[in-house]
């Protein structure tokens, strides 16, 4: 269904604009994604938005998105650049904005054996780091990201933007630590934590499949009690004055080491 909205006071504009706030995202079970690239990545992953807002863009990717939405019977809304800016909260809005159903996967429905790598992050606070970790997961063929304890909302506009579409290719689950450990120990899976409290170099171990790569909070790292429950703790060499890497960078280094071991094993 296609329609047009040109009034700032339209209730739908206000409703969609409210999705920039976590409490409204949670209440509605919806989130925003902006930009032709991200929405195209989502479509290619088989995910179309509930609603698609555009300002009459003639870009081929925009036309393809609109056609896909109309073929699926989706809600396509043409509006003005000013209203698109109001929805997105940006002075120079992207050509399209999509409203998506949230993509949380219940932990107990995850098929751990479907891939060799899963990423687990505890108490992440920065949406840019979360989005970048999702992109890394996509790049290495990870199954998804399991968020432990109180993390930044993966469906915030900032996190969605930083994921560059990987939000739609990676499963996302949330759990408290004790619930995650109880689930993990019911089946195969090596829990590998990154830590400064070890002398084991990250390239030394033989990582098992599936590997659950655990990274901690940006400022504090993993709690010691969590480290104690890991099967293995590793660290990367730091040859300069810094004592640690950014959590998203560390995740990428570790994930590629795990991937490269798998590639060498054939």
- Same domain flag for 93 and 127: no
Specify whether the CB–CB gap between 119 and 137 falls below 8 A.
yes
- Same domain flag for 7 and 67: yes
Both tokens of 256, joined, read: 């590629």
Residue 92 banded pLDDT, cuts 50, 70, 90: low
Count of domains for the chain? 2
Of 72, 101, 130, at which residue does a domain stop?
101
- Same domain flag for 139 and 216: yes
Q: CA 101 to CA 28: how far, in whole Å?
A: 9
Specify whether the CB–CB gap between 123 and 148 falls below 8 A.
yes
Residue 130 banded pLDDT, cuts 50, 70, 90: very high
Q: Which residue range(s) make up the domain with 150?
A: 107-265
CATH of the domain at 260: 3.40.1280.10
- Same domain flag for 218 and 257: yes
- Same domain flag for 132 and 91: no
- Same domain flag for 97 and 132: no
- Same domain flag for 30 and 96: yes
Residue 2 banded pLDDT, cuts 50, 70, 90: confident
- Same domain flag for 95 and 113: no
The confidence score (pLDDT) of residue 9 equals: 87
Q: CA 66 to CA 74: how far, in whole Å?
A: 9
CATH of the domain at 56: 3.30.1330.30
Of 84, 101, 118, at which residue does a domain stop?
101
Residue 169 banded pLDDT, cuts 50, 70, 90: very high
- Same domain flag for 72 and 140: no
Beta strand ranges found along 44-109 (DSSP E): 51-54, 75-78, 96-101
pLDDT, tens digit (0-9, with 9 covering 90-100), for 205-227: 999 999 999 999 998 999 999 99
**pLDDT of 25 higher than 70:** yes
Of 55, 80, 101, at which residue does a domain stop?
101
- Same domain flag for 147 and 184: yes
- Same domain flag for 83 and 112: no
Residue of 256, 252, 261 lying closest to 121 (CA atoms): 252
Structural Rg of the chain based on CA atoms: 20
- Same domain flag for 139 and 255: yes
- Cβ neighbours of residue 146 closer than 8 Å, sequence gap 6 or more: 107, 110, 118, 119, 120, 121, 172, 173, 174, 175, 180, 212
CA angle 15, 18, 21 (to 5 degrees): 155
Q: CA 200 to CA 173: how far, in whole Å?
A: 29
């Amino acid at each position: 269904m296609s329609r047009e909205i040109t009034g700032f006071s339209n209730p739908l504009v206000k409703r969609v604009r409210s999705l920039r706030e976590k409490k409204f995202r949670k209440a509605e079970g919806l989130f925003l994604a902006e930009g032709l690239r991200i929405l195209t990545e989502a479509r290619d992953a088989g995910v179309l938005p509930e609603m698609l807002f555009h300002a009459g863009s003639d870009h081929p990717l925009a036309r393809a998105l609109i056609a896909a939405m109309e073929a699926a019977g989706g809600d396509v809304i043409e509006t003005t650049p000013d209203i698109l800016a109001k929805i997105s909260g940006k002075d120079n809005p992207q050509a399209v904005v999509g409203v998506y159903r949230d993509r949380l996967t219940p932990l107990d429905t995850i098929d751990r054996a479907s891939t060799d790598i899963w990423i687990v992050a505890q108490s992440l606070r920065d949406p840019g780091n979360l989005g970048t970790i999702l992109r890394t997961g996509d790049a290495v063929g990870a199954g998804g990201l399991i968020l432990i304890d109180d993390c930044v909302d993966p469906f915030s506009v900032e996190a969605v933007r930083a994921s560059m579409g990987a939000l739609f290719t990676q499963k996302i689950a949330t759990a408290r630590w004790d619930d995650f450990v109880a689930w993990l120990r019911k089946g195969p899976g090596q829990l590998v934590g990154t830590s400064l409290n070890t002398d084991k170099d990250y390239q030394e171990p033989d990582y098992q499949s599936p590997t659950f790569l655990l990274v901690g909070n940006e400022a504090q790292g993993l709690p010691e009690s969590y480290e104690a429950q890991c099967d293995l703790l590793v660290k990367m060499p730091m040859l300069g004055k810094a004592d640690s890497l950014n959590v998203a960078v560390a995740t990428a280094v570790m994930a590629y080491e795990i991937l490269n071991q798998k590639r060498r094993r054939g």
